[in-house]
Structure 1
Amino acid sequence: MFAMAKQKKEKKPKRPFFSYSEEKMNDAIKAVRENGMSRKTAAKTFEIPRSTLIRKLSGAVPLKRKMGPRTELSPAEETLLVDWILAMARKGFPVHRTNLLTTVKKILEATDQEVRYVTGMPGRSWFEGFP
């Protein structure tokens, strides 16, 4: 007889990830803390997940959304490094990849930060993601 073709199982649509802005979340937190609005009403009014609002209000989750691994250098160190690169380029000495990575390694060693790299210095992916 005829072989029945397998029917593909329909996938459930994925839930939206971060379907709200930080501004809406901050407004909801302010409404609950300062205006006495209930958490449920604030979640509906500002169109944010109630469970997330509750976790942020309790302090279980940081108020500022930060994704990905932690940065190796502080914002001040990154700014200083960018200024150094630009100053070297203005003087006619462009900073090459090896020079930059070696300098970052020295900064990490000088500030006694935990180095998460096998070679002790950032690799290609760090270099490509650097501002």
Structure 2
Amino acid sequence: MTDKKWKFLKTLSKKNNFLVLNLLRSKGKLHFANIKRILKIDGRTLTDALNELIDYGLVKKEIEEPEKRTSKVYYSLTELGKKAVKIYDYAEQLEKELESKQSIVINGNVGDNNVIANNIENSKIYFKK
């Protein structure tokens, strides 16, 4: 994998970038202040995240009235951004699959009981006398 691809994946894995992308996926176009309020992160941190996502072409910035100095700025996912957030869904599916396959069978004695299985997924230990 090239260095550029690693940087792209690293960008997607950053917590605030993840939060912004998922929020924009669920809400569509949002004003900066709304993103900041919903995610409860400070303005500088949000600006950094948005700028990085814009640089990668994942988020687009729309200025309501460009000729005004105090015009509202809105952010939304680009087509590439919509495709990229599917990586989060795939990662979640893989995580669930990994968790469901992580069970250990133990045969042994604990006190007067024989331990027959330990299922890591639901943290239950089964005993059989």
TM-score (norm 1): 0.23
Which structure has more strand as a fraction of its residues?
Answer: 2
Query: Which entry has the higher C-alpha Rg, 1 or 2?
Result: 1
Q: Which has the higher contact order (CA 8 A, sep 6+)?
A: 2
Normalising by structure 2, what TM-score? 0.24
